[in-house]
Protein backbone atom coordinates (compact mmCIF):
# COMPACT_ATOMS: atom_id res chain seq x y z
CA UNK A 1 0.00 0.00 0.00
CA UNK A 2 4.12 4.22 -4.05
CA UNK A 3 8.42 7.44 -4.75
CA UNK A 4 6.62 5.27 -5.25
CA UNK A 5 9.60 7.09 -5.04
CA UNK A 6 11.36 12.08 -9.54
CA UNK A 7 14.28 17.11 -12.83
CA UNK A 8 11.12 16.12 -10.94
CA UNK A 9 7.35 16.76 -11.17
CA UNK A 10 4.69 16.39 -13.80
CA UNK A 11 4.96 18.22 -17.03
CA UNK A 12 7.04 18.22 -20.16
CA UNK A 13 10.32 16.76 -19.08
CA UNK A 14 12.34 14.04 -20.65
CA UNK A 15 9.56 11.87 -20.39
CA UNK A 16 7.38 9.08 -20.27
CA UNK A 17 4.50 8.21 -18.00
CA UNK A 18 3.43 5.02 -16.26
CA UNK A 19 0.69 3.92 -13.99
CA UNK A 20 1.79 1.68 -11.34
CA UNK A 21 1.07 -1.17 -9.17
CA UNK A 22 1.43 -0.29 -5.49
CA UNK A 23 2.42 -3.75 -4.30
CA UNK A 24 0.84 -3.00 -0.98
CA UNK A 25 -1.90 -5.21 0.52
CA UNK A 26 -1.60 -8.27 -1.61
CA UNK A 27 -0.11 -8.83 -5.01
CA UNK A 28 -1.11 -6.17 -7.51
CA UNK A 29 -1.14 -6.47 -11.26
CA UNK A 30 -0.79 -3.38 -13.43
CA UNK A 31 -3.41 -3.19 -16.13
CA UNK A 32 -1.36 -2.28 -19.19
CA UNK A 33 -2.86 -0.51 -22.20
CA UNK A 34 -2.53 -2.34 -25.47
CA UNK A 35 -0.11 -1.05 -28.07
CA UNK A 36 1.74 2.22 -27.57
CA UNK A 37 5.28 2.58 -26.32
CA UNK A 38 4.84 0.21 -23.42
CA UNK A 39 5.53 -3.02 -25.25
CA UNK A 40 8.37 -5.24 -24.25
CA UNK A 41 9.32 -6.84 -27.55
CA UNK A 42 12.68 -8.50 -27.17
CA UNK A 43 13.53 -7.48 -30.73
CA UNK A 44 13.74 -3.82 -29.71
CA UNK A 45 14.87 -4.14 -26.10
CA UNK A 46 18.49 -2.89 -25.82
CA UNK A 47 21.11 -5.42 -24.78
CA UNK A 48 23.35 -2.76 -23.22
CA UNK A 49 22.43 0.54 -21.62
CA UNK A 50 23.48 3.99 -22.75
CA UNK A 51 23.59 6.04 -19.56
CA UNK A 52 22.48 9.68 -19.70
CA UNK A 53 24.17 11.42 -16.74
CA UNK A 54 22.06 14.17 -15.21
CA UNK A 55 18.92 13.21 -17.12
CA UNK A 56 15.62 11.86 -15.81
CA UNK A 57 12.42 10.55 -17.38
CA UNK A 58 9.13 11.60 -15.85
CA UNK A 59 6.70 8.75 -15.26
CA UNK A 60 3.47 9.46 -17.07
CA UNK A 61 0.28 7.51 -17.21
CA UNK A 62 0.13 4.79 -19.85
CA UNK A 63 3.71 3.47 -19.99
CA UNK A 64 5.66 0.86 -18.06
CA UNK A 65 9.20 0.69 -16.76
CA UNK A 66 9.98 -1.57 -19.73
CA UNK A 67 8.64 0.98 -22.21
CA UNK A 68 10.56 3.83 -20.58
CA UNK A 69 13.74 1.74 -20.65
CA UNK A 70 13.37 0.84 -24.32
CA UNK A 71 12.64 4.42 -25.42
CA UNK A 72 15.78 5.64 -23.65
CA UNK A 73 18.01 2.78 -24.91
CA UNK A 74 18.45 1.34 -21.43
CA UNK A 75 17.88 -2.23 -20.31
CA UNK A 76 14.94 -2.63 -17.90
CA UNK A 77 17.24 -4.31 -15.39
CA UNK A 78 19.64 -1.35 -15.36
CA UNK A 79 16.85 1.23 -15.17
CA UNK A 80 15.32 -0.58 -12.20
CA UNK A 81 18.69 -0.89 -10.43
CA UNK A 82 19.61 2.76 -11.01
CA UNK A 83 16.35 3.83 -9.37
CA UNK A 84 16.27 1.38 -6.48
CA UNK A 85 13.34 -0.59 -7.87
CA UNK A 86 12.71 -4.27 -7.30
CA UNK A 87 9.95 -6.46 -8.65
CA UNK A 88 7.13 -5.69 -9.33
CA UNK A 89 8.84 -2.38 -10.27
CA UNK A 90 6.39 -0.02 -8.60
CA UNK A 91 6.37 3.45 -10.20
CA UNK A 92 3.98 6.37 -9.95
CA UNK A 93 2.73 9.18 -12.18
CA UNK A 94 4.96 12.20 -11.54
CA UNK A 95 7.97 10.13 -10.47
CA UNK A 96 11.32 10.96 -12.10
CA UNK A 97 13.40 7.95 -13.11
CA UNK A 98 17.16 8.50 -13.21
CA UNK A 99 18.65 7.53 -16.57
CA UNK A 100 22.15 6.92 -15.23
CA UNK A 101 23.79 5.00 -12.37
CA UNK A 102 24.93 6.76 -9.24
CA UNK A 103 28.26 8.51 -9.75
CA UNK A 104 28.10 8.39 -13.56
CA UNK A 105 29.99 11.23 -15.22
CA UNK A 106 29.84 10.35 -18.90
CA UNK A 107 27.28 8.92 -21.28
CA UNK A 108 28.44 5.48 -22.38
CA UNK A 109 27.01 1.98 -22.61
CA UNK A 110 26.66 0.54 -19.13
CA UNK A 111 28.61 -2.63 -18.50
CA UNK A 112 31.09 -1.97 -21.35
CA UNK A 113 34.59 -0.57 -21.47
CA UNK A 114 37.29 -1.36 -18.97
CA UNK A 115 36.83 -4.43 -16.82
CA UNK A 116 39.05 -3.20 -14.01
CA UNK A 117 38.35 -3.55 -10.32
CA UNK A 118 36.26 -0.35 -10.44
CA UNK A 119 33.52 -2.26 -12.25
CA UNK A 120 31.16 -3.51 -9.56
CA UNK A 121 28.03 -5.63 -9.90
CA UNK A 122 24.77 -3.86 -9.19
CA UNK A 123 23.41 -4.59 -5.74
CA UNK A 124 19.76 -4.19 -4.75
CA UNK A 125 19.17 -0.88 -2.92
CA UNK A 126 17.18 -0.74 0.30
CA UNK A 127 13.42 -1.07 -0.17
CA UNK A 128 12.66 2.06 1.81
CA UNK A 129 14.24 5.33 2.86
CA UNK A 130 16.49 4.26 5.77
CA UNK A 131 16.29 7.47 7.77
CA UNK A 132 13.47 10.02 8.10
CA UNK A 133 13.56 12.83 5.58
CA UNK A 134 11.95 16.18 6.35
CA UNK A 135 9.02 16.39 3.96
CA UNK A 136 8.01 19.93 4.82
CA UNK A 137 4.41 18.70 4.87
CA UNK A 138 2.12 18.93 7.90
CA UNK A 139 0.76 15.40 7.54
CA UNK A 140 -2.55 14.44 9.11
CA UNK A 141 -4.28 11.11 9.57
CA UNK A 142 -6.36 10.20 6.51
CA UNK A 143 -9.03 8.37 8.52
CA UNK A 144 -10.17 7.59 12.05
CA UNK A 145 -9.92 4.02 13.25
CA UNK A 146 -7.72 1.33 14.71
CA UNK A 147 -4.36 0.58 13.18
CA UNK A 148 -4.58 -3.03 11.94
CA UNK A 149 -1.55 -3.17 9.66
CA UNK A 150 1.89 -1.63 9.96
CA UNK A 151 4.68 -0.76 7.56
CA UNK A 152 7.54 -3.27 7.27
CA UNK A 153 10.63 -2.17 5.34
CA UNK A 154 11.38 -4.45 2.42
CA UNK A 155 8.03 -6.26 2.63
CA UNK A 156 6.23 -5.87 -0.69
CA UNK A 157 2.85 -6.49 0.93
CA UNK A 158 3.39 -4.06 3.82
CA UNK A 159 4.41 -0.79 2.20
CA UNK A 160 1.98 1.29 4.22
CA UNK A 161 -0.47 1.14 7.12
CA UNK A 162 -4.01 -0.23 7.30
CA UNK A 163 -6.67 1.70 9.22
CA UNK A 164 -9.87 -0.16 10.10
CA UNK A 165 -13.21 1.61 9.96
CA UNK A 166 -16.78 1.35 8.70
CA UNK A 167 -18.25 1.42 5.23
CA UNK A 168 -18.78 4.95 3.98
CA UNK A 169 -16.51 6.54 6.58
CA UNK A 170 -14.67 9.65 5.39
CA UNK A 171 -11.22 9.26 3.87
CA UNK A 172 -9.36 12.57 3.83
CA UNK A 173 -6.27 13.97 2.12
CA UNK A 174 -3.27 13.62 4.41
CA UNK A 175 -1.75 16.78 2.97
CA UNK A 176 -2.33 19.38 0.24
CA UNK A 177 -1.62 18.41 -3.34
CA UNK A 178 -2.94 17.34 -6.71
CA UNK A 179 -4.71 14.08 -7.52
CA UNK A 180 -2.56 12.22 -10.06
CA UNK A 181 -4.51 8.96 -10.07
CA UNK A 182 -8.14 8.14 -9.33
CA UNK A 183 -9.30 4.78 -10.59
CA UNK A 184 -9.71 1.07 -10.06
CA UNK A 185 -7.35 -0.34 -12.69
CA UNK A 186 -5.00 -2.13 -10.31
CA UNK A 187 -5.99 -5.63 -9.27
CA UNK A 188 -5.95 -6.01 -5.51
CA UNK A 189 -6.28 -2.35 -4.54
CA UNK A 190 -9.88 -1.59 -5.35
CA UNK A 191 -10.82 2.05 -5.69
CA UNK A 192 -7.49 3.87 -5.44
CA UNK A 193 -6.44 7.52 -5.17
CA UNK A 194 -2.89 8.89 -5.39
CA UNK A 195 -2.05 12.48 -4.41
CA UNK A 196 1.15 14.25 -5.40
CA UNK A 197 2.17 16.72 -2.69
CA UNK A 198 5.36 18.01 -4.32
CA UNK A 199 8.12 16.75 -6.59
CA UNK A 200 9.26 14.13 -4.09
CA UNK A 201 6.24 13.16 -1.99
CA UNK A 202 3.14 11.13 -2.83
CA UNK A 203 0.40 9.53 -0.76
CA UNK A 204 -1.88 6.66 -1.75
CA UNK A 205 -5.33 5.63 -0.48
CA UNK A 206 -6.68 2.18 -1.34
CA UNK A 207 -9.79 -0.04 -0.92
CA UNK A 208 -12.26 2.86 -1.01
CA UNK A 209 -15.96 2.29 -1.50
CA UNK A 210 -16.29 5.43 -3.58
CA UNK A 211 -13.84 7.96 -5.00
CA UNK A 212 -14.88 11.62 -4.67
CA UNK A 213 -12.05 13.36 -6.57
CA UNK A 214 -10.80 13.30 -10.15
CA UNK A 215 -7.32 13.34 -11.64
CA UNK A 216 -5.90 16.85 -11.88
CA UNK A 217 -8.01 18.12 -8.98
CA UNK A 218 -6.28 20.13 -6.24
CA UNK A 219 -7.05 19.20 -2.65
CA UNK A 220 -6.26 20.63 0.75
CA UNK A 221 -5.23 18.71 3.83
CA UNK A 222 -8.35 17.33 5.45
CA UNK A 223 -10.54 17.46 2.33
CA UNK A 224 -12.67 14.34 1.96
CA UNK A 225 -11.48 12.46 -1.11
CA UNK A 226 -13.24 9.11 -0.74
CA UNK A 227 -15.54 6.88 1.29
CA UNK A 228 -13.96 3.96 3.09
CA UNK A 229 -14.81 0.51 1.80
CA UNK A 230 -13.54 -2.99 1.18
CA UNK A 231 -12.85 -3.05 -2.58
CA UNK A 232 -9.85 -5.30 -3.10
CA UNK A 233 -9.81 -6.53 0.50
CA UNK A 234 -11.92 -8.57 2.92
CA UNK A 235 -12.81 -5.86 5.45
CA UNK A 236 -13.68 -2.17 5.56
CA UNK A 237 -10.40 -0.35 5.89
CA UNK A 238 -8.07 2.19 4.33
CA UNK A 239 -4.65 1.22 3.08
CA UNK A 240 -2.46 4.33 3.28
CA UNK A 241 1.04 4.89 1.95
CA UNK A 242 3.53 7.74 1.91
CA UNK A 243 6.27 7.60 -0.73
CA UNK A 244 9.45 9.62 -1.06
CA UNK A 245 10.89 9.68 -4.59
CA UNK A 246 8.72 6.68 -5.34
CA UNK A 247 10.02 4.61 -2.40
CA UNK A 248 7.75 3.65 0.49
CA UNK A 249 8.46 5.14 3.91
CA UNK A 250 6.82 4.37 7.24
CA UNK A 251 3.74 6.63 7.52
CA UNK A 252 3.93 6.44 11.32
CA UNK A 253 7.20 8.38 11.20
CA UNK A 254 5.38 11.32 9.60
CA UNK A 255 1.82 11.14 10.93
CA UNK A 256 1.18 12.95 14.24
CA UNK A 257 0.89 10.88 17.41
CA UNK A 258 -2.60 10.03 18.51
Q: What is the pLDDT of residues 29-77, one digit of tens each?
A: 344 434 444 444 444 667 788 888 888 888 887 778 888 888 888 998 8
Lowest mean pLDDT among 117-126, 202-211, 230-239: 117-126
Closest CA to 207 of 254, 162, 141, 172: 162
C-alpha pair distances (Å), 85 with each of 93, 97, 149, 216: 15, 10, 23, 26
Compute the average pLDDT of residues 193-198: 96
How much is the average pLDDT of 243-255? 93
**pLDDT confidence tier of residue 85, bands split at 50, 70 and 90:** confident
Topology of the domain comprising 29-109:
Membrane-bound Lytic Murein Transglycosylase D; Chain A (3.10.350)
pTM confidence score: 0.57
Which of 49-53, 92-96, 193-197, 223-227 shows the lowest per-residue confidence on average (mean pLDDT)? 92-96
Mean pLDDT of the region 186-195: 86
Average pLDDT score over residue span 80-98 = 80
User: What average pLDDT does the structure give for the chain?
Assistant: 76
Least confident window among 48-62, 138-152, 219-233: 48-62
Region(s) of the chain under CATH 2.70.70.10: 147-254
| The pLDDT value given to residue 46 | 73
Pick the CATH number of 147-254 from 3.30.70.120, 2.70.70.10, 2.60.120.590, 3.90.1150.10: 2.70.70.10
Q: State the pLDDT at residue 69.
A: 87
Given a cut of 70, is residue 155 above it in pLDDT? yes
Q: Give CATH 3.10.350.10 domain extents, the chain.
A: 29-109
Amino acid sequence: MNALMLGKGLGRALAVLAVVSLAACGTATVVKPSGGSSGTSTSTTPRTSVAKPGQTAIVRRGDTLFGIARINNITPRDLAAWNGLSEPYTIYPGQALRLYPGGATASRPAGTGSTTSTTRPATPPPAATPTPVNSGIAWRWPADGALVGRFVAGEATKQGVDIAGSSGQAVRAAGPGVVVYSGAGLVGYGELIIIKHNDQWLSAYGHNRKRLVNEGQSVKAGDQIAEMGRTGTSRDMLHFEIRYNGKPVDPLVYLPSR
